[in-house]
Structure 1
């Protein structure tokens, strides 16, 4: 009985450890330069990516405007992911945001040159 247990542990445990290592780093990594401006953008983009089939995880660094994500190349492509970003209102690398989606973003999420500045000199996030 002890021999069976030892054989089981010798063959099964290494396989289980390999699976655990694979699941934490699954998929391919993709980095996309975005036009994100603030933490509201971060929330919008990460939420949109959460609904994209094949995307395992996504994190937007607001400071450098880079979205880093892991995805399954059998379920989605970098082009599809960029299209989701564009349709959410953001530039993705060299592809431009969908204009209608961009226009719906609050001012704080728009590029500085497109924000509405009121007569008091104050930028407002919402009209």
Structure 2
């Protein structure tokens, strides 16, 4: 009889623990829907000294975000609305710098957008009209 009570207690205890584990509500992680702040293009130039054809050297003041760390934001760069590429923040200077290439010669309006880890995009930066050095 004692043996039967111990076995019943063990089974009852195991059932209680399983039920407690299964019935505990899972907490959902909050969804990030807030875009980063609008970046500011500090410097943009189409000078040839950067090398290659139709180069764009650009410096962007960092944006901030409510969830993504500043150093983890990326920056999409556009010329006349066409995406030229993205820059990542190496964290080695007060701004994010990089060299990209225009797709065609002639005056073009350059802007940037910050993108956070959730894929939210900021409003476009200030616009700079740049004439790249032809090939």
TM-score by length of 1: 0.31
Name the structure, 1 or 2, with higher relative contact order (CA <8 Å, separation 6+).
2
- Which structure: larger Rg? 2
Structure 2-normalised TM-score?
Answer: 0.30
